């Protein structure tokens, strides 16, 4: 039990992320794929299209243990930093809320398209600027949700290191030494 507690750590605001900055090209490609999927959902679901697209954008990063379909295809993953596990649906909604706001702006009567374009320029620009300037590639949504996009090959949890067992020779065959009995 004590080794289990030692392996769990909470990453606070004072401790920097243990993960390197993910490739901005892969992140951009993953976002483009997710936007394409949301567009297909919007077009194919008729009158409910905006709502279905909004739900996909908000919940996508929590679908496959921290990966949307676009992130899965590009090999990047969203990590919830306090637990170092893949993002959950709650984390996905928090981190993607700026993009959800852009979709909600498109639903405004009489201003829909103009509000959508203005939201894309302003919020998209702020998010892009934040990603480019942050040393870990965090955007506003990542700060709100305590998440970070990482390379999917990076192990999300701390690996529990097994103690190596030494070989012992006894009567011509290799045997593994047993650890000493902790009982008195």
Which residue in the block uniquely carries the two structure tokens 């020779």?
A: 169
- The residue range of the domain holding 76 is 2-155
| pTM of the complete model | 0.68
34 within some domain = yes
Instruction: Name the domain count of the chain.
Output: 1
162 within some domain = no
CA–CA separation, 72 and 79 (whole Å): 13
User: Could you say which residues of the chain have pLDDT below 50?
Assistant: 12-14, 156-170, 173
Q: Are 69 and 116 in contact (CB under 8 A)?
A: no
pLDDT of residue 29: 92
46 within some domain = yes
176 within some domain = no
28 within some domain = yes
pLDDT of residue 165: 45
150 within some domain = yes
Q: Token digits for 149?
A: 């996009």
103 within some domain = yes
pLDDT of residue 166: 45
178 within some domain = no
CA–CA separation, 86 and 114 (whole Å): 35
């Amino acid at each position: 039990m004590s080794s289990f507690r030692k392996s769990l750590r909470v990453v606070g605001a004072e401790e920097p992320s243990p993960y390197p900055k993910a490739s901005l090209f892969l992140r951009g490609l993953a976002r483009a794929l997710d936007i394409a999927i949301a567009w297909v959902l919007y077009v194919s679901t008729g009158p409910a299209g905006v709502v279905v697209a909004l739900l996909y954008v908000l919940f996508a990063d929590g679908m496959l243990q921290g990966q949307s379909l676009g992130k899965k295809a590009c090999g990047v993953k969203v990590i919830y930093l306090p637990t170092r596990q893949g993002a959950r649906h709650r984390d996905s909604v928090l981190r993607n809320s700026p993009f959800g706001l852009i979709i909600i702006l498109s639903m405004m009567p009489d201003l829909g398209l103009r509000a959508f374009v203005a939201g894309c320029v302003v919020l998209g620009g702020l998010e892009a600027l934040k990603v480019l300037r942050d040393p870990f590639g965090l955007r506003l949504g990542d700060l709100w949700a305590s998440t970070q996009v990482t390379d999917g090959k990076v192990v999300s949890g701390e690996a529990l290191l097994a103690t190596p067992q030494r070989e012992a020779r006894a009567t011509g065959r290799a045997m593994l030494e047993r650890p000493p009995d902790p009982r008195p």
